[in-house]
Structure 1
Amino acid sequence: MTARLLKGALILGLMSLLAACASAGGGGASRGGLPVVTDPAPIVSGTMRPYQVRGRWYRPAEDPTYDEVGMASWYGDQFNGRPTSTGEIFDMHALTAAHKTLPLPGLVEVTNLANGRSVVLRVNDRGPFVDDRIIDLSRGAAEELDLLARGVGRVRVRYLGRAPRQGGGMRLQTASAAAPTAVTAMAPDPAPVFSGTAYWVQAGAYANRRTAQRIAGRLGDSATVDEVQTGQGRLYRVLVGPWNDANAAERARQAVLARGVDDALLISAR
Structure 2
Amino acid sequence: MMARLLRGALIAAAFSTLAACASFGGGRDAPLRPPAVTDPAPIVSGTMRPYQIRGRWYRPAEQPNYDEVGLASWYGAQHNGRPTSTGERFDMAALTAAHKTLPLPSLVEVTNRANGRRVILRVNDRGPFVDSRIIDLSRAAAEELGLLSQGVGEVRVRYVGRAPRTGGGATMRRAEAAPSAAKPTPTAGAVAPSAPVISEASAYWVQAGAYSDRRAARRIAERLGDRASVQDIRSDGQFLFRVIVGPWPDANAAEQARQAVIARGFGDALLISGG
Specify if TM > 0.5. Answer: yes
RMSD: 2.3
Q: Does the 8 A contact of 1:108 with 1:122 survive in 2?
A: yes
Q: Distance in 2 between matches of 1:59 and 1:114?
A: 30
Change over 3 Å in CA distance of 1:151–1:44 after alignment to 2: same
Change over 3 Å in CA distance of 1:94–1:61 after alignment to 2: same
Q: Which amino acid aligns with 1:83?
A: P
Q: Does the 8 A contact of 1:21 with 1:30 survive in 2?
A: no
Task: Please show how residues 1-270 of structure 1 align to structure 2 within 5 Å.
Answer: 19=15, 30=20, 33-177=33-177
Residue 35 of structure 2 aligns to a residue in which SS?
A: strand
Q: Does the 8 A contact of 1:17 with 1:30 survive in 2?
A: no
Change over 3 Å in CA distance of 1:166–1:70 after alignment to 2: same
Q: Which structure 1 residue ranges, 5 or more long, are not aligned?
A: 1-13, 23-28, 178-270
Q: TM-score if structure 2 supplies the norm length?
A: 0.55
Aligned to 1:3: none
Shift of 1:175: 1.3
Deviant stretches of 4+, over 4 Å: 14-22, 29-33
Shift of 1:123: 0.1
Query: Could you report, residue by residue, the CA deviation over 1:157-196 in whole angstroms, capped at 9, with x for unpaired residues?
Result: 000000000100000011114xxxxxxxxxxxxxxxxxxx
Q: Which amino acid aligns with 2:97?
A: A
Q: Percent identity?
A: 75
Q: Distance in 2 between matches of 1:131 and 1:138?
A: 19
Shift of 1:87: 0.2
Q: Does the 8 A contact of 2:77 with 2:92 survive in 1?
A: yes
Q: Distance in 2 between matches of 1:86 and 1:108?
A: 16
Q: Does the 8 A contact of 2:111 with 2:145 survive in 1?
A: yes
Change over 3 Å in CA distance of 1:18–1:132 after alignment to 2: farther
Higher relative contact order, structure no. (Cα contacts within 8 Å, ≥ 6 residues apart): 2
Q: Which structure 2 residue ranges, 5 or more long, are not aligned?
A: 1-9, 23-32, 178-275
Residue 142 of structure 2 aligns to a residue in which SS?
A: helix
Q: Distance in 2 between matches of 1:141 and 1:42?
A: 23
